[in-house]
Amino acid sequence: MNRFRVVFLSFLLFVPVFVYGQTSDPSLLSIERIFNSDDFSAKGVGGLRWMKSGDAYSKIEPSPTIQGGSELVSYDAATNARTVLLSAEKLIPKGETKPLPINGYEWSTDNKQMLIYTNSKKVWRLNTRGDYWVLDLASGNLKKLGGDAKPSTLMFAKFSPDGTRVGYVRENNIYVENIADGKITQLTNDGSRTLINGTSDWVNEEEFFLRDCWRWSPDSKSIAYWQFDASGIKDFLLINNTDDIYPVITQIPYPKAGTTNAAVRVGVVNADGGQTKWMNTPGDLRQNYIAMMDWTENSNELILQHLNRLQNTLQLMVADAKTGAVKTVLTEKDDTWTEVFMQKLRWLNNGKNFLWMSERDGWQRIYNVSRDGTNVKPITTGNFDVVSYNGIDEANGWVYFVASPENATQRYLYRSKTDGSGTAEKVTPEDQKGWNGYNISPNGKWAFHTYSAFTTAPRFEIVNLTNKTVVRTLEDNKDLQAKIDQVKKGPQEFFKIDIGEGITLDGWMLKPPGFDPSKKYPVLFYVYGEPAAQTVTDSWNDTDYLWHTMLSQQGYIVISVDNRGTPAPRGRAWRKSIYRKIGVVNAADQANAVKAILAKSPFIDSSRVGIWGWSGGGVSTLSAMFKYPEIYKMGMSVAPVADQRLYDTIYTERYMGMPQENAEFYKQGAPINFANGLKGDLLIVHGTGDDNVHYQGTENLINELVKLNKPFQMMAYPNRTHSISEGEGTTVHLYNLLTDYLNEHLPVNK
């Protein structure tokens, strides 16, 4: 038997799986319909940007005169009056016949010039390299920036506040270009593969979302920027065996848990050139992070979020741009980890106060803080979490935020007075139960509103925040909703499950069409389980939802449960209970949830329980299969971290501490250490070009399973990244593979 399984593994790697073909019945789902057609594609309203006034917004639309071209228009938020700001004809460079495609744009402060981003290329996950052009709207002059720069090598270009210059990053150095005469000044000269100015290294980009790492001063005279010295970090090598007859190797300085980090510092340089003045942040530069940096309300000081390596102490610091001296105005400490306030700091009362978010009293709240940090007053009160700060109407004294006090699976807009008086007031209408997102105008009067729910396609609207009304619908996705409504479904419901010791978890369940409670059904659990994401949300999750519904059409019950430690708005204690115990607390919660659900659900066959997940969910799947083999009979683990010591410093150490100090829980949390417990059927899937969760961990796990003589199956997708989406046919192949494996090893008809 064991030998047969190993032989089948080799067969699986080279032979395509059965393809679930297209169906003409609109009520039935298939892999082809979900992943290889436009049947369920949602229409969006990308490219919307609030104008400086806050009463109008700009938008990119197809040109009516030039095929394939775009024009930039504006709409009045109140009247919907349309104005063409920029025709496609003005985007045709001299000597060319076609207009520039617009990948992004930025207005100058006076709205007289436009910075156009085009020819974009991917850097890791996002298209952040490209070409930039400046268009003078009055003269029509269109000018490319960068001088002799290679194509698609400029990053994060921005107008100076006075509109006379543009700064940008080029090959890890910062440049400033004068718009009038094209003079280019190189402000940093030491940039290299490992010395990075103005953008970030891999781990800070991935975990702190630091990409655009430089800022103009308000007076346009200086530039503040991050510098990352990654020279002490060991390279991880990605081997691409498929694009040439010889392997192509990519070297990435990637700090794994407990190893050397980049040295991080912030400096200020004159925009005309000169020496950088470095801010004197305390401690070893390799043992601390600067997770946020910006100018204060003036051009003399910077504001920094300085975080120690364990990430349990965050200091909000003000730094003197001329001397480099720093002082701490606010400190956040936690027995576990502290949250970084990722959003741009909002100043109030002409710089006398600022808005801040903190979990310091057990709930995440918005605070009104005096500039020196001596007065910290909560704006939001009550036993609920603020999920995000979304905007402010300072003239009328309102701060807007997203929260969901009654239901952790949903999101709504609220507002409170900036002085902390009164109680929070719900802005989202009662008939929009589900998931609501808002992009609020600079004057706090209007918002782009996105609404969806578990079985409801996204709807995009303009709303008036003053009177809480919908002004107009930008896209309702009616055609998509009609197709969703046609899909054959069984009962689909959200539920709460008590797993004992006073712990109640949120979940959802999809039952097969024609569900019969007297029958026995196999069940597949969908899991993530780590602090980076929830799976139980009352929101439209397109392909995940559709594939799970397709499985329910085949006769499966599909369930997802959010364990403790997931980022649900259920209080600090809920989220922090997983500290140092990833792979322990979440695995136990999931297993206890299955037991509790089985006890209440006689229609579920306890001998046919499966689980699957991706990334953190892949880890949770392995932990389930290895630690609770009496519960789970089949698992499909996609792109897992089999050993937490192999993942990056920032994420792993934030939640687990240093491996040198928490060796026992690193051991308890790593699925590879429990591989001997495997009894059920296991499929492991990984992309060999995954720069995030390295294929190395899966190879180590394979070695361990082989050593233990444990049968399993696996699929390696050559040179695919963490999304396993690159290459023609990849997504369809992957989901056919998963569906086939499920059908074979957790059959509907036993």
Same domain, 396 and 542: no
Length of the chain: 750
Q: Are residues 413 and 442 in the same domain?
A: yes
The rounded distance, in Å, linking the Cα atoms of 629 and 643 is 19
The pLDDT, as a whole number, for residue 22 is 56
Residue 110 within any structural domain of the chain: no
| Statement to judge: residues 363 and 496 lie in one domain | no
- 471 & 541 share domain: no
What's the CATH code of the domain at 603?
Answer: 3.40.50.1820
In this structure, the answer to whether residues 503 and 430 fall within a common structural domain is: no
Q: Three-state SS for 693?
A: coil
State both tokens at 739. 């569906």
Domain-terminating residue out of 441, 459, 478? 478
Give domain status of residue 6, yes or no.
yes
Could you count the other beta carbons within 10 Å of the beta carbon of residue 305? Answer: 22
707/618 same-domain check: yes
Q: Judge contact between 167 and 269, C-beta under 8 A.
A: no
- Is residue 341 within 8 Å of residue 364, measured between CB atoms? no
**How much is the pLDDT for 9?**
30
- Give the CATH number for residue 471: 2.120.10.30
Helices H, strands E: what count in the chain?
12, 43
Instruction: Confirm whether 465 is domain-assigned.
Output: yes
For residues 627 and 733, membership in a common domain is answered with yes
Residue 750 falls inside a structural domain: no
Q: Would you say residue 570 lies in a domain?
A: yes
Long-range contacts of 279-284 (CB under 8 A, 24+ apart): 279/304, 279/319, 279/324, 279/326, 280/319, 280/324, 280/325, 280/326, 281/306, 281/317, 281/319, 281/326, 282/306, 282/326, 283/308
Q: Are residues 575 and 450 in the same domain?
A: no
Mean pLDDT per segment of 10 residues, for the chain of length 750 residues? 30 35 83 96 90 92 91 94 93 91 91 92 81 93 95 96 97 97 97 97 96 97 98 96 95 97 98 98 98 96 98 98 98 97 90 96 97 96 96 94 98 96 94 97 96 98 94 96 98 98 97 97 98 97 97 98 98 97 97 98 98 98 98 98 98 97 95 98 98 98 98 98 96 98 94
- The answer to whether residue 682 sits within a structural domain is yes
Looking at the domain assignment, is residue 514 inside a domain?
Answer: yes
Contact 116/91 with Cβ under 8 angstroms? yes
Distances (CA, A) of 630 to 425, 499, 587, 745: 48, 18, 14, 16
Which among 478, 500, 529 is the end of a domain?
A: 478
What is residue 704's three-state secondary structure?
helix
Q: What is the pLDDT of residue 524?
A: 98
- pLDDT score at 20: 45
Q: For 483, phi and psi rounded to 5 degrees?
A: -70, -40
Domains contained in the chain, number? 2
Give the CA count within 13 Å in the CB-facing half-sphere of 399: 28
Adjacency order of strands within the sheet including 353-358: 347-348, 353-358, 365-370, 376-378
Residue span of the structural domain in which 618 resides = 2-39+487-745
Residue where one domain finishes, among candidates 427, 443, 478: 478
Do 462 and 536 belong together in one domain?
no
698 shares its domain with 645: yes
Alpha carbon distance 385, 199 (integer Å): 32
Residue 98 carries which DSSP code? Answer: S
| 611 & 535 share domain | yes
Together in a domain, 657 and 701:
yes
Contact of 427 with 415, CB cutoff 8 Å: yes
Please tell me the pTM assigned to this model: 0.94
> Is 668 within a domain?
yes
